Amino acid sequence: MAELQISGVEKVYPNGFKAIHGVDLEVADGEFIVLVGPSGCGKSTLLRMIAGLETVSAGTIRIGDRVVNELEPADRDIAMVFQNYALYPHMSVYQNMAYGLRNRGFPKAAIEERVQKAAGILQLGGLLDRRPRQLSGGQRQRVAMGRAIVREPSAFLFDEPLSNLDAKLRVQMRVEIKQLQRRLGTTSVYVTHDQIEAMTMADRLVVMNAGVAEQIGSPIDLYDRPSTVFVGGFIGSPAMNFLPGRVEPDGRHLELAGGLRLALPAEGRHADPGRLVTVGVRPEHLVPTGDTASPLRIEVKLVEHLGADTIVYGTCSAIDAAEGSGLMTLRLNGHHLPAMGEMIGLGADPADLHLFDAATGKRI
Amino acid sequence: MVENRPWLNLISHVVLLLGVAVVVFPLWVTVVSSTHRGIDLMSAPIPMWFGDQFLANYTRMLTAGMDSVAGQPLGLMLFNSLVMALTIALGKIAISLTAAFAICYFRFPLRMTCFWIIFITLMLPVEVRILPTYEVVANVLTPLRKLLGLFGYEADEVVLLGMTIDLNLSMLDSYTGLTLPLIASATATFLFRQFFLTVPDELTEAARIDGAGPMKFFRDILLPLSRTNIAALFVILFIYGWNQYLWPLLITTKPEYVTIVMGIQRMVNVADTEPQWHLVMTATVLAMLPPVIIVVAMQRLFVKGLVETEK
Amino acid sequence: MNKRVTFKSQWLPYALLAPQLAITLVFFIWPASQALYQSVLRQDAFGLRTEFVGLENFAALLADPLYLESFHVTIAFSVGVAAVSMSASLLLAVMADRVIKGATAYKTLLIWPYAVAPAVAGVLWFFMFNPTIGINAWILRTLFGYDWNHTLDGGDAMILVVVAAAWKQVSYNFLFFLAGLQAIPRSLIEAAAIDGASPTKRFWTIVFPLLSPTTFFLLVVNVVYAFFDTFGIIHATTSGGPANSTTTLVYKVYADGFVGLDLGGSAAQSVILMAIVVALTVVQFRYIERRVEY
């Protein structure tokens, strides 16, 4: 068990493409860190650099108290779970799990003990003699984890392990992995593109975008105070609504497109008058006012009934239809049946408004 | 098929049966003729059904051979063919596996050069370079001698570190000479390279994390996965080695190195007399037996390997 | 195409490649370069002196009627073998693709000639066409009144070697045609049937065009086979005769080089053969690169 330190790490490919632009991250011992972001953001690259499967162009990576930049993956005391499991097809489950230990010269008895223990934890007992092709997706996933567990490494690295499973299995495995990690207490770095997975599993999240770590923090921190437009829009489902606007001369109100006016949240009051901003508000924080003449109102275009919630999409003059879907999203608890074309007036608590600079996307 | 056309089905079967008949007829004639006495085969039409000389002919050929051609017993010839076929098949597979592994899984200067050098061999079948290859086999050190010749050194020996090294190393009339020049082949290397490219990269990465170096990876993971390809190639290369003709013809003069395919030719091309057909046919059956058995027994594997080698 | 993940090592790849490279250099590259070198030399009658004669050997070859004749023989031979072998195997493959019962049995019975050595195949047909006792010769004589004698008639000799070579090659072509046929999606044929095409029409307008990559590939392979692998057949049966009527290019290289001991001429012939192989291989690979998936 050890901590992981990533300082100023960069990755530049031979063709000049810069995949990672200086990431700093400190992972405490036993912590479950999730790297999340859209495709191509560099999260897998970062993970593979920690593993030693990609070289580091600049910066250092420390595992425990060692700088591991130059070490081979086998010498870094890490174990990895791959997206496609990477199980050796011609070996039995037992042999798959034992391979790493065999190469390190472990005596047979020790191997037997560790494999049996891992098999017990993962409920693979009856499958030890089977070949991977005889197993289901979920079982293969567990074997891949078993292979990592028997090594008792300083850190686990997960590369989108649940992407190939069907939705229901994914939810179940999420819980299992998290419980397993708690039980073993091993420092873990987990990569996923699914923000729900990230939110539910992480002790802390790292949201990445185009090779940069936009924000690092606990799930709730990221939810309550996203530091950039990107993070705001990425975390939380349905996604946050964004409204372009400007700070009014009086410094206490916002003018939105379409002539709407809102009161500024307290923390935004220091912003200069006339500044162009982007206002973010989550669908669950919009409250119907019952007054169809409210400054913020939508015309219902689409309704999704999820049972526990109802999602309403509508056009709003405050949103520029040229950007994105041009639809405002509203989340209501329980069953609701708004009619098509119905106008719904909305309001929001100023404390629930997020203010971002229109140009940089950074929180004000 | 798509519709039900009984006439077409009938015709299909008839055509196929005819085809099979034409293809199998020579075999039938051969086997039948090998069971007769010599005089039965001296006038047309020769018998089309089995005779009674099966044991007599076969034991004679296996043990004593055909005296009129200073015959070697077929047993020896079969053995030579076997040695040649096995050595070539196993040798080619071993060398190509390691070469393909090196080309696929390593980055090193001269990688592409090596690749092209191997590729060129595809365009140089032995029939195209027989004389000079013969020359090299006659004295493997020929290139070295020519090199020394450039510097004016013409002697037959060289003294190095107090030892006299004879600059003549002949591989004629030897198993090495029969097999070594045929062992480097591009087709097997390409097949393995093609296959290795389909092995998922993650397997390699997982093996690296599991502490396996390149040779461990090769032995523990790559080889077991290549089993089917190796088996299919073995069939094809065994047949190739067994049926070699031109090369053994050139480099063997001593009778004890004659392979069975060559032996048959010698029995047929006798000057002045008619070949002893019943004995020739016996030899032919024996010559065909091992490869045919292997092909038929491993039919599925062999077909798969053949169709994939050429693509 | 390269693998993304590779190992790092300074010496291992070279060690792994060494055996193949060593053999290739000693037994392939060196002799090939020697052939090139010798083709521009000529030895005098006693083998005492060699002189550089530039392209004279080549010019002499191209003016030599015997050499040109062997060119003709080779082309006629190749065309004969390719035509006979490919049409027969295509027919058999199409029929085999249709039948369900006994498919494996037919397949087994049709592919075994692949295992037979060309030389042995030659001997088999040589035996069957033997003017005195050969069964086929007898059939031709009694049923058709044709007096077969390949030791005297060049045409008969050519037919003999073509038949022997084609017989052997049918199994190889059959396998590839069958694989090619089975790769054609059933849905295409069914769509054509619904469109009202009869089986014959379906074959010529849909199946055959879709089979063209395989056909082309086999054509090249058959030509290469006819050029090079058939030495055994000719040497074991007709020895290039009668009167050079079955002397192919490869056979001539052997005859002139080993028996006639004409180094320069034989080397020049080898070089020309090399050029032909290179051209054929390039064609084959280029075409394979452009195989279209359907």
Whether residue B25 lies inside any domain: the answer is no
Whether residue C235 lies inside any domain: the answer is yes
- Can you read off the two tokens belonging to residue A307? 């049972």
Q: What number is the average pLDDT over the span B7-29?
A: 87
- CB-nearest to B243 from C117, C127, C258 is C117
φ and ψ at residue C245, rounded to 5 degrees: -75, -15
With bands split at pLDDT 50, 70 and 90, how would you rate the model's confidence at C35? confident
- Can you read off the two tokens belonging to residue A208? 């990445």
Tokens 């005089």: give the residue.
Answer: B39
Contact B129 C107 (CB under 8 A): no
With a pLDDT cut of 90, the percent of chain B lying above it is 13
pLDDT of residue B127: 77
Whether residue B220 lies inside any domain: the answer is yes
> What is the spatial distance between Cα B93 and Cα C19, in angstroms, rounded to a whole number?
12
pLDDT of residue C294: 33
Q: What number is the average pLDDT over the span C110-130?
A: 87
User: Which structural domain range is residue C224 located in?
Assistant: 63-289
Contact C235 B245 (CB under 8 A): yes
Strands (E), A178-259: 187-192, 204-209, 212-217, 241-247, 253-256
Pick the closest to residue B101 from B3, B229, B232, B194 (CA basis).
Answer: B194
Residue predicted with more confidence, B3 or B24: B24
* Strand ranges across the sheet with A212-217: A78-81, A155-159, A187-192, A32-36, A204-209, A212-217
Contact A84 B200 (CB under 8 A): yes
Angle formed at CA C286 by CA C282 and CA C292, multiple of 5 degrees: 155
User: What single string gives the DSSP state of each residue in C36-76?
Assistant: HHHTTEEE-TTSS-EEE-TTHHHHHHHH-HHHHHHHHHHHH
Q: Output the domain CATH number for residue C181.
A: 1.10.3720.10
Does the CB of A100 have a partner CB in chain B at under 8 Å? yes
Instruction: Give yes or no for residue C293 having a pLDDT over 50.
Output: no
Does the CB of B10 have a partner CB in chain A at under 8 Å? no
pLDDT tens digits along C230-250: 888 888 888 877 878 888 888
Contact B108 C16 (CB under 8 A): no
Does the CB of A106 have a partner CB in chain B at under 8 Å? no
**Chains contacting A (3+ CB pairs below 8 angstroms):** B
A261 SS3 class: strand
pLDDT of residue C105: 85
The residues with which A192 forms a beta bridge, in sequence order, are: A36
**Chains contacting C (3+ CB pairs below 8 angstroms):** B
In one-letter notation, the amino acid at residue C141 is: R
Q: ω into residue B291 within 30 of 0, thus cis?
A: no
Tokens 């191209």: give the residue.
Answer: C62
User: What single string gives the DSSP state of each residue in A81-101?
Assistant: E-TT----TTS-HHHHHHHHH
> What is the spatial distance between Cα A319 and Cα B46, in angstroms, rounded to a whole number?
99
Whether residue C54 lies inside any domain: the answer is no
Instruction: Give yes or no for residue B5 having a pLDDT over 80.
Output: no
With bands split at pLDDT 50, 70 and 90, how would you rate the model's confidence at C260? confident
Does the CB of B198 have a partner CB in chain A at under 8 Å? no
Q: ω into residue B45 within 30 of 0, thus cis?
A: yes
Whether residue B38 lies inside any domain: the answer is yes
DSSP 8-state class, residue C183 = T
Whether residue C94 lies inside any domain: the answer is yes
Contact C127 B277 (CB under 8 A): yes
A67's enclosing H/E stretch is strand A66-67
A351 SS3 class: helix
DSSP 8-state class, residue C207 = I
pLDDT tens digits along B206-233: 999 998 889 999 999 999 999 888 988 8
Residue predicted with more confidence, C27 or A269: C27
Pairing of strands A58-63, A155-159: unpaired
- CB-nearest to B202 from A78, A84, A147 is A84
By C-alpha distance, the chain B residue nearest C164 is B26
Whether residue C22 lies inside any domain: the answer is no
CA distance B100 to chain A (A): 20
Whether residue C221 lies inside any domain: the answer is yes
By C-alpha distance, the chain C residue nearest B16 is C92
Contact C266 B106 (CB under 8 A): no
Whether residue C81 lies inside any domain: the answer is yes
Pick the closest to residue A152 from A119, A186, A197, A122 (CA basis).
Answer: A186
Structural contact between residues A205 and A36, judged by C-beta atoms closer than 8 angstroms:
yes
Structural contact between residues C34 and B124, judged by C-beta atoms closer than 8 angstroms:
no
DSSP 8-state class, residue A363 = B
Structural contact between residues B75 and B260, judged by C-beta atoms closer than 8 angstroms:
no
Number of domains present in the structure of chain B? 1
Angle between helices A137-149 and A108-121 (to 10 degrees): 130
Pick the closest to residue B242 from B78, B61, B75 (CA basis).
Answer: B78
Task: Output the average pLDDT for chain B.
Answer: 82
- CB-nearest to B208 from A73, A88, A89 is A73
Choose, out of B209, B223, B229, the residue to mutate when testing the contact with A (most A CBs < 10 Å).
B209
pLDDT of residue B139: 77
Q: What number is the average pLDDT over the span C202-216?
A: 85
Does the CB of B216 have a partner CB in chain A at under 8 Å? yes
Cβ-based contacts of B242 with chain C (< 8 Å): 117
Contact B106 C12 (CB under 8 A): yes
Contact residues, C window 246-285, toward B, CB-based 8 Å cutoff: 250, 253-254, 257-258, 263, 266-267, 270, 273-274, 277-278, 281
Cβ-based contacts of A88 with chain B (< 8 Å): 203, 206-207, 220-221
pLDDT of residue A289: 84
Contact C99 B30 (CB under 8 A): no
Cβ-based contacts of C120 with chain B (< 8 Å): 243, 261, 264, 284, 287-288
- CB-nearest to A89 from B208, B211, B225 is B225
C114 Cβ partners below 8 Å, 6+ apart?
B239, B295, C168, C171, C172, C175
Cβ-based contacts of B221 with chain A (< 8 Å): 88, 90
A278's enclosing H/E stretch is strand A276-281
Contact residues, C window 51-80, toward B, CB-based 8 Å cutoff: none
pLDDT tens string, chain A, 364 residues long: the values are 458 999 999 999 988 899 999 999 999 999 999 999 999 899 999 999 999 999 999 999 999 888 999 888 888 999 999 998 889 998 999 999 999 999 888 999 999 999 999 999 999 988 999 999 999 988 999 999 999 999 999 999 999 999 888 999 999 999 999 999 999 999 999 999 998 999 999 999 999 999 999 999 999 999 999 999 999 999 988 999 888 888 888 877 877 776 677 777 777 777 778 888 888 889 999 888 887 777 677 888 999 999 899 999 988 876 665 555 678 889 999 888 888 888 888 888 888 888 888 888 888 8
Does the CB of B206 have a partner CB in chain A at under 8 Å? yes
Rg (CA), chain A: 24
Does the CB of B294 have a partner CB in chain C at under 8 Å? yes
Q: What number is the average pLDDT over the span C115-121?
A: 87
Does the CB of A79 have a partner CB in chain B at under 8 Å? yes
Size of interface A-B (CB pairs under 8 A): 57
pLDDT tens digits along B137-164: 887 777 777 777 777 777 777 776 767 7
Cβ-based contacts of B16 with chain C (< 8 Å): 92, 95-96, 99, 106
pLDDT of residue A323: 56
- CB-nearest to A90 from B200, B207, B225 is B225
Cβ-based contacts of B30 with chain C (< 8 Å): 124, 127
Contact C135 B269 (CB under 8 A): no
User: Which structural domain range is residue B258 located in?
Assistant: 34-309
φ and ψ at residue C226, rounded to 5 degrees: -65, -35
Does the CB of B32 have a partner CB in chain C at under 8 Å? no
Contact B143 C117 (CB under 8 A): no
> What is the spatial distance between Cα C29 and Cα B120, in angstroms, rounded to a whole number?
8
Whether residue B9 lies inside any domain: the answer is no
In one-letter notation, the amino acid at residue C250 is: V
Contact B216 A103 (CB under 8 A): yes
Instruction: Give yes or no for residue B288 having a pLDDT over 70.
Output: yes
Structural contact between residues C85 and C144, judged by C-beta atoms closer than 8 angstroms:
no
Q: Output the domain CATH number for residue B191.
A: 1.10.3720.10
Tokens 């029969």: give the residue.
Answer: B178
| ipTM reported for the complex, 2 dp | 0.80
Instruction: Give yes or no for residue C152 having a pLDDT over 70.
Output: yes
Please state the CATH superfamily assignment of the domain spanning residues A4-229 in this structure.
P-loop containing nucleotide triphosphate hydrolases (3.40.50.300)
Cβ-based contacts of B209 with chain A (< 8 Å): 51-52, 73-74, 78-80, 100
CA dihedral (B221, B224, B227, B230) in degrees, to 10, reads 60
Whether residue C93 lies inside any domain: the answer is yes
Size of interface B-C (CB pairs under 8 A): 309
> What is the spatial distance between Cα B74 and Cα B288, in angstroms, rounded to a whole number?
13
Whether residue B305 lies inside any domain: the answer is yes
CA distances from A28 to A31, A32, A116, A159 (A): 5, 9, 29, 20
Residue predicted with more confidence, B90 or B249: B90
Q: What number is the average pLDDT over the span B279-296?
A: 87
- Can you read off the two tokens belonging to residue B76? 């020896």
User: Residue B21: is it exposed, middle or buried by C-beta count within 10 angstroms (0-12/13-18/19+)?
Assistant: exposed
DSSP 8-state class, residue A274 = T
The residues with which C41 forms a beta bridge, in sequence order, are: C52
* Strand ranges across the sheet with A296-305: A287-288, A343-347, A296-305, A309-315, A327-333
CA distance B254 to chain C (A): 17
Residue predicted with more confidence, C145 or A124: A124
Cβ-based contacts of C252 with chain B (< 8 Å): none
B104 SS3 class: helix
Instruction: Give yes or no for residue B68 having a pLDDT over 60.
Output: no
pLDDT of residue C47: 61
- Can you read off the two tokens belonging to residue B151? 């510097």
By C-alpha distance, the chain A residue nearest B227 is A90
- Can you read off the two tokens belonging to residue B77? 């010839």
Domain ranges of chain A: 4-229, 238-357
Structural contact between residues C179 and C211, judged by C-beta atoms closer than 8 angstroms:
no
Number of domains present in the structure of chain C? 1
Q: What number is the average pLDDT over the span B186-211?
A: 88
Neighbour count for residue A6 (Cβ, 10 Å):
22
pLDDT of residue C292: 41
By C-alpha distance, the chain C residue nearest B95 is C20
A238-357 fold: OB fold (Dihydrolipoamide Acetyltransferase, E2P) (2.40.50)
pLDDT of residue B101: 93
Count of helices and strands (H, E) across chain A? 8, 20
Does the CB of B122 have a partner CB in chain A at under 8 Å? no
Chain-centre distance for alpha carbon C124: 19
Residue predicted with more confidence, A198 or B282: A198
